[in-house]
Amino acid sequence: MNHPNYSENVLYSDDFMVVELERPSKFQPVKLAAADDSDFKPGKMATTMGWAPTRKRVKTSRTS
């Protein structure tokens, strides 16, 4: 279900959607880091992910 104001011609405006599943998911939510940064320790490996561009004016892939 796309946002009602979504447009492929406008970058980063209303660019999210809700996915409706046919059956419950077996996956658990990803743990978010504590707001006080206490989950981050010097020398400890961390993995990040997201969907925003890391450079200006980079064309992103289209999601169907």
Domain total for the chain? 1
Assess if residue 7 is contained within a domain. Answer: yes
Q: Which domain holds residue 16?
A: 1-26
Top-confidence residue, 64 or 37:
37
64 belongs to a structural domain = no
At 37, which amino acid appears? D
Q: What's the pTM value of the predicted model, to 2 decimals?
A: 0.32
pLDDT for residue 13: 64
pLDDT single digits (tens) 29-60: 888 888 888 888 899 888 777 776 666 665 65
In DSSP notation, 21-63 reads: PSS---PPPPPPPPTTSTT--TT-------SS-SSTTPPPPPP
Give a yes or no: residue 44 inside a domain. Answer: no
